[in-house]
Amino acid sequence: MVTGSTVVCIGELLIDFVPEENGLPLAEVPLFRKAAGGAPANVAAAVAKLGGASRFIGKIGADPFGQFLRETLVSAKVDPALVETGEARTGLAFVSLRADGERDFLFYRQPAADMLLHSSELQDAWFADAAILHFGGVSLIHEPCRSATLAAAERARRLGALVSYDPNVRMTLWGDDTERARCEMLAPMAHADVVKVSEEEIHFLTGTEDLLQGAHQLLEQGPQVIVATLGAEGSRFITSLADIAVPAPRVNAIDTTGAGDGFVGGLLYQLTQWAIAPVQIGRALADEGFVREIGRFASAVGALTTTRRGAIPALPTREEVERALD
């Protein structure tokens, strides 16, 4: 049994500029709306909006966008464990939405403040009540934030917290070195208990088109559970003991930004409600009844997130999720 109850997320926190109109390339979008984003921050906000305890660890610029992001976290009831810097500005991402709600990204990170988080800036108090530590692949691209992220995962594991990882492949940020990107994203598998990946990411990381075969290749590297997200087709929870499919609810998707993060937030929230410890996670997520219960909840969070624009602003409350499930 875990002693803490907080989902602690570490990584990037940035501004998403989301178009008010779908179906246009970036160069033709006439109007953008500012929204808080960054995958690990989205997960923290998802947990908090569902009523759970969450904390976000990251670095922001000493600028108006950084202040906006701090206020957004506080408004979402996320504990902001933020370091402020004057060395770089808060990161930006412009998002182009196709008519089906899928996205293209243009990032401004040369560098961004979140890339400058140092291991020495991590505080013991940020991990003391952690039930789960969650991180993503974007913070693995550059130093010093890569070392800080891995140090946080190692510290959380030593304290008995469950570790969750989302490779979140964004090749435009990694550059042309595909092999380096693959190796760097595979290395943290040894630190993780739960890994969330898309079908495309499994293919990229393992080289196989077979989802089940690829998931088992990832399991061999350390995780106890691979959660493969399949968009509108739902998800699969794959362990050494089971392969359980969970359907996703049908919704009218407007903007898929943050949908996967909403799913992860919903899943981690459920795991804290059940107080699932790392030693229990593999067996718990091989139980079909349990997986279908928490998987349906997580899928509803992800699906509802697509019905509004932006990431953090679109995340649903627990009441909205329960109404959708009913």
Domain annotation covers residue 198: yes
Predicted confidence (pLDDT) per residue in 144-179, tens digit: 999 999 999 999 999 999 999 999 999 889 988 899
In angstroms, the CA 94 to CA 43 distance is: 20
Check if the beta carbon of residue 276 is closer than 8 Å to that of residue 286. Answer: no
C-alpha distance across the termini of the chain, in Å = 30
Q: What is the CATH number of the domain that holds 167?
A: 3.40.1190.20
pLDDT of residue 102: 65
Domain annotation covers residue 305: yes
Predicted confidence (pLDDT) per residue in 226-243, tens digit: 999 998 899 999 999 999
Confidence band of 2 (pLDDT split at 50, 70, 90):
very low
Mean pLDDT of 100-118: 86
- Burial tier of 143 (Cβ tally within 10 Å: 0-12, 13-18, 19+): exposed
Domain annotation covers residue 1: no
CB neighbours of residue 228 within 10 Å: 23
pLDDT of residue 326: 85
Predicted confidence (pLDDT) per residue in 22-79, tens digit: 788 888 889 998 989 999 999 999 999 999 999 999 999 999 999 999 999 999 999 9
Domain around 308: 6-325
Domain annotation covers residue 102: yes
Check if the beta carbon of residue 165 is closer than 8 Å to that of residue 221. Answer: no
Contacts of 241-244 with C-beta under 8 Å, sequence gap 24+, read 241/282, 241/283, 241/286, 242/285, 242/286, 242/287, 242/288, 242/291, 243/212, 243/215, 244/285, 244/286, 244/288, 244/291, 244/292, 244/295
pTM for the structure as a whole: 0.94
pLDDT of residue 101: 56
**pLDDT tops 70 at residue 139:** yes
Q: How many domains does the chain have?
A: 1
- Looking at the chain, the whole-number percentage of residues with pLDDT higher than 90 is 80
- Looking at the chain, the whole-number percentage of residues with pLDDT higher than 70 is 97
In angstroms, the CA 261 to CA 310 distance is: 12
- Burial tier of 151 (Cβ tally within 10 Å: 0-12, 13-18, 19+): middle
